[in-house]
Every structure is written in C-alpha cells, then in structure tokens.
C-alpha cells in the first residue's frame, strides 16, 4: 500500500490506517479478542502500518489488544493512542470528565506504554481539549515526554483552529484527528486550510460515517443496546431515511468504478489532500479487505466535481453528536 506523510512531520504511515476502537468499545459487545488479534495482524500483512487506539476505549482493553497484536511486528508499525479523560473509578465504560493536567498526561503515558507493550508511543493525542488546562501546558508536557523518548509525535483531536495554533507554537503538532467524510465536512471551512498552512496532517476518523456510508445500514436497522449509535441524532430512523440519498449517490458513482459505496467514500477522503489519512474501523476480515481496496481507486477531478455537486444538493439530517458531546469539539 502507498505511504503518506502526516504534514511536515517525519511520520510516514499507510494511506489507510485501522481504527481499533470498535473491536472493544462503542459498537455493541466487544468482539472476540483472539479474532481481533488475527484481524489486526492480517491488516499488517496487507500493508497497514497505522493503528489507532485510546486509553478510554474499554477502558484499557483496546490498548491491551493492540499491544498484544502488534508486539511481534512493533518495529514495522505506527501506534497512536490518546489521553484527556478521567475514567469511571469502577472501571466501567465511559468517563467522568476531561483531564489534561500535566500529571494526568504523564500517568496515562506510562500506563499506555505498558499496555501497548512498547517503549515509545508514536503519536500521542489529546483526545478532547480541556478548557481548564491551557493548551500550552498540554503541549509542553508532551514536549517533555518527547525529549524523554517516551513519545515521538504530538497530536490533537477535534480541536479548534486557535487551539491548534497555540499548541503548535509550543510543540509542533504532527496530526489532528477529526471526523471527516462526505457526510461530515465541517473541517473544510477553517480547519483544513489551517492544517495546510502549518504543515499538520489530518487523520480522518469515521470516514465511513460510523458505518452508514457502507450502505449496510437502513432506516429499519436496529442496534445492540450497548451501541452508542443509539444516542446519535444522525442515527434516528428518520435521519437515516433522509440521509440514504448520500449512500445512493456513492452506490451510483461506484457502479462506474466497480467499487462499493464504502470504497467510494474512502476514495473520496483520500482524494481530498495527500496529507489526509482515513482510519476506518471494522471487526470483519472481508470488510477490512474491502476498505483497503479503496486505496487503489483513483477519482478524477471530473468525478470529484460530480460527487461534490450532487452531494451539495443533499442536506444531511441530524447532528453528529448529542449536544453535550458536540460541545467538546472545536474548542
């Protein structure tokens, strides 16, 4: 698979990464650990070198899974993880607030290193901006971890442009992780131009719209009671019915390219900028293979223009997060 460089950093990764969250957290009951280890190792065999996890996914279990799966090939891959939350004291899923105080960042780094079975974290993101801790303190703390050899690169997730600039002035930000896809194009207005100016890469999470853009979810699909999509305004039956038009567009364009809607959605993200790396997640081997096939699809300027014109006529229904979670983005 082709490699991409995240901004002006020396962080070189496969054009498509693998988001590992859903193997342990958020999309219903955790998948079988042995099967997921096999899936992650299969991704490596197929050319994936970029794997995304976080302390809060589980919590802890996703980092442990990724660490065990990648231990035999650690020198061949890039592992990204995240800090920034206070976790539930009883160990149950979720969190009880933001926390990016320097001592908390260091605590998370040490624990993540152990779970990931490594002596260095390749990319360490602030998961969400903590309004109670100046971003300069956060960047300075990660800068210290980089000097100590415990972290290689600093990242932010869902941060606003001014926060990105302030952080970057203290410690160069290698990558910003944001939701970005044909149905979540918010970063295009201010964030993408700022990243291009500063030489920061974009890691696009949920590039398949949390599964919706695959065409496998309809108005009548029911999710497991533990699936967090039950809480998302964009996933109400009414919103799904309205948003089907976007999937239909991808399917129609895909017929010409002999590609699935998922492959078209990923190819579209890849075509936007050479420093954007999507990290679709899956728990299924055939979906992994399908997703990776998108790296070989080239969309012409004419095709991209056609998709943009058609997509601009589709009004996406429903917010991507409930209000409380939405308030944690763009700070």
pLDDT in tens, 180-230: 999 999 999 999 999 999 999 999 999 999 999 999 999 999 999 999 999
CB atoms within 10 A of CB 303: 18
Among candidate residues 57, 180, 205, 321, the one labeled active-site is: 57
Strand pairing class (18-19; 276-278): unpaired
Compute the average pLDDT of residues 277-281.
98
- Tell me what the mean pLDDT of segment 296-320 comes to: 97
Percent of the chain beyond pLDDT 90? Answer: 99
- One-character DSSP codes across 117-142: T-S-EEEEEESS--TTS-HHHHHHHH
Report which secondary-structure segment, H or E, holds 23. Answer: none
Q: Is 27 a catalytic residue?
A: no
Beta carbons of 271 and 207 less than 8 angstroms apart: no
First-last CA distance in the chain: 35
What are the residue boundaries of the structural domains of the chain, listed by start?
A: 3-326
Cβ-based neighbour number of residue 167 at 10 Å? 26
Which of the four pLDDT bands, split at 50, 70 and 90, describes residue 285? very high
The per-residue pLDDT for range 135-169, each reduced to its tens digit, is 999 999 999 999 999 999 999 999 999 999 999 99
The helix or strand, by DSSP H or E, that contains position 290, with its residue range, turns out to be helix 285-292
Please list the alpha-helical segments (H only) found in 129-284.
135-147, 161-170, 191-198, 237-257, 261-272
Cα separation, 280 vs 183, in Å, equals 15
User: How far are the Cα atoms of 41, 63, 132, 179, 243 from residue 210, in angstroms, in the given order?
Assistant: 23, 20, 30, 10, 13
pLDDT of residue 212: 98
Q: What are the pLDDT digits (tens) for 7-29?
A: 999 999 999 999 999 999 999 99
Confidence of residue 257 (pLDDT cuts 50, 70, 90): very high
pLDDT band at 88 (very low <50, low <70, confident <90, very high): very high
Give the model's pLDDT for residue 205: 98
What count of other Cβ atoms lies within 10 Å of the Cβ of residue 244? Answer: 16
Q: What is the pLDDT of residue 60?
A: 97
Q: What is the CATH number of domain 3-326?
A: 3.20.20.100
Closest CA to 126 of 100, 150, 104: 100
Q: What pLDDT is attached to residue 166?
A: 98
Mean pLDDT along residues 104-124: 98
Give me the mean pLDDT over the 37-51 stretch.
98
Statement: the pTM of the whole predicted model exceeds 0.85: yes
pLDDT at site 139: 99
Strands 121-126 and 78-83: parallel
The answer to whether the CB of 15 falls within 8 A of the CB of 277 is yes
């Amino acid at each position: 698979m082709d490699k991409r460089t995240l901004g002006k950093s020396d962080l070189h990764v496969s054009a498509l990464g693998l988001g590992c969250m859903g193997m342990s957290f958020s999309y219903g009951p955790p998948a079988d650990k042995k099967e997921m280890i096999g899936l992650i190792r299969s991704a490596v065999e197929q050319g994936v070198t970029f794997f995304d996890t976080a302390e809060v996914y589980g919590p802890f279990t996703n980092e442990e899974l990724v660490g065990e799966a990648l231990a035999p090939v650690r020198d061949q891959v890039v592992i990204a993880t995240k800090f920034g939350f206070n976790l539930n004291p009883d160990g149950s899923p979720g969190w009880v607030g933001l926390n990016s105080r320097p001592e908390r960042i260091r605590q998370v780094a040490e624990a993540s290193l152990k779970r990931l079975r490594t002596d260095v974290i390749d990319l360490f993101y602030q998961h969400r901006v903590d309004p109670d801790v100046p971003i300069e303190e956060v960047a300075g703390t990660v800068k210290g971890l980089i000097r100590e050899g415990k972290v290689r690169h600093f990242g932010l997730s869902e941060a606003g442009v001014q926060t990105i600039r302030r952080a970057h002035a203290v410690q160069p930000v290698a990558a910003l992780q944001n939701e970005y896809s044909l149905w979540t194009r918010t970063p295009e207005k201010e964030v993408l131009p700022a990243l291009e100016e500063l030489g920061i890469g974009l890691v696009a999470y949920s590039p398949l719209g949390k599964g919706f853009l695959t065409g496998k979810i309809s108005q009548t699909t029911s999710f497991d009671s533990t699936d967090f999509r039950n809480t998302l305004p964009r996933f109400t039956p009414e919103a799904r019915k309205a948003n089907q038009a976007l999937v239909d567009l991808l399917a129609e364009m895909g017929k010409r390219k002999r590609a699935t809607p998922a492959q078209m959605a990923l190819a579209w993200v890849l075509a936007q900028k050479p420093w954007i790396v999507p990290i679709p997640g899956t728990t299924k081997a055939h979906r992994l293979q399908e997703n990776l096939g998108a790296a070989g699809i080239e969309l012409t300027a004419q095709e991209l223009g056609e998709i943009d014109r058609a997509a601009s006529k589709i009004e996406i229904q429903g917010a991507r997060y409930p209000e409380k979670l939405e308030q944690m983005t763009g700070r």
